[in-house]
Amino acid sequence: MIRPLAATLALALGYFGYEAWLDAGGARKLAGIGVPAPKGHYELRVAFPPEGFHVTRMQAIGRLIEVKGQSVFLMDVEPQDLRAIARNYWVVGVARWKGL
């Protein structure tokens, strides 16, 4: 019985640790933003040319205007969605954008 319990414990610890690490990363990336506007415009930088996987998730939280190289420009993003997307470790930087 010990192995299933130990495995579950390890998985749980791993999972929550991972989520906490993501939260910390998100907070760090958003530190320079200040207080996000209710419908803000941002430039999200990723470490690689974004794939469908990433574009889909970004489209879900805001209006995707342009993908330039390794930057994605979004408009009308709400604060909690911004926090959610900034958590992802494949987002390396977030900057305010003046929009169109």
Partner 1 sequence: MSTVLAASPPPMSRRLARPAKGALGLVLFLALWQASVPLVGLEPYFYPAPADVWRAFLDLVTKGILPVYLIDSIGRYAGGVAIGTVLGIACGLAIGISRLADRTLSPAINFLFAIVEVAWIPIFVIWFGYGFKTILIALTYVVFFPMLYNTLVGVRTVPQVLVNAALSLGATRLQLLREVILPAVLPNIITGFRVGAGFAFRGLIFAEIVAAKSGIGYLIFEGAANHQTARTIVGMIVMGLLWLGIDNLYLKPVERMTVERWGSVTTAERRE
Q: 77 near 86, Cβ under 8 Å?
A: no
Of positions 31, 34, 35, 53, contacts partner 1 by CB under 8 A: 53
- By CB under 8 A, residue 55 contacts partner 1: no
Q: Are 91 and 45 in contact (CB under 8 A)?
A: yes
Q: Which of 12, 13, 18, 23 binds partner 1 (CB under 8 A)?
A: 18
CA distances from 12 to 5, 7, 61, 89 (A): 10, 9, 28, 20
From the list 90, 96, 97, 99, which residue makes contact with partner 1 (rule: CB under 8 A)? 90
User: Does 21 engage in binding with partner 1 (CB under 8 A)?
Assistant: no
Single-letter amino acid code for the residue at 45: R
Decide: is 7 part of the binding site for partner 1 (CB under 8 A). Answer: yes
